[in-house]
Amino acid sequence: MARFKKNKHSLEEEELYNTAFRDVFKRTAYESDHHEKKEPKKDTASSFKTTLSGKVAIRIERKGRGGKTVTLVETASGTLEEKDLLAKYLRKQLGCGSSIENETIMVQGDQRERIKALLEKEGVKRISIS
């Protein structure tokens, strides 16, 4: 026969193994120190302005990619972190994959016109499409 444990409701007993869970029950439901306050995210559009200050070249490439088309966004200015933020911004706005390859932003598919429109909206003046 199976033994049944008595359900003890005291929070100090050993049957409640997770101590963090026990601590949550000890607090009141609306205490603010339980939830960590997250600091607001930085606006990514303003974070990569120095990357977009120079000339931006947009071109497509198929060679060496198994027949897949990718759009390459090349800019001479900006750090690698800023280019990574720009790649993340393009990824979210275009709904496609992007990555950094040899300090060049690579976006999946032929996205030249859409990228040009996004960069013009961000205030880039010198855009070259090839």
Does the pLDDT of residue 30 top 50, yes or no? no
pLDDT digits (tens, 9 = 90+) for 42-89: 555 556 666 677 889 999 999 888 889 999 999 888 888 888 988 999
N residues, the chain:
130
Report all structural domains of the chain as residue ranges with CATH numbers, in order of start: 44-129 (3.30.780.10)
Mean residue pLDDT across the chain: 77
Query: 73-104: buried (b, 16+ CB within 10 Å) or exposed (e) per residue?
Result: bebeebeeebbbbbbbbbbebbeeebeeeeeb
Does the pLDDT of residue 129 top 60, yes or no? yes
Distance from C-alpha of 85 to C-alpha of 101, rounded to nearest angstrom: 14
- The pTM score is 0.63
Sign, CA torsion 42/40/100/81? positive
- Compare 119 and 34 and report the one with higher pLDDT: 119
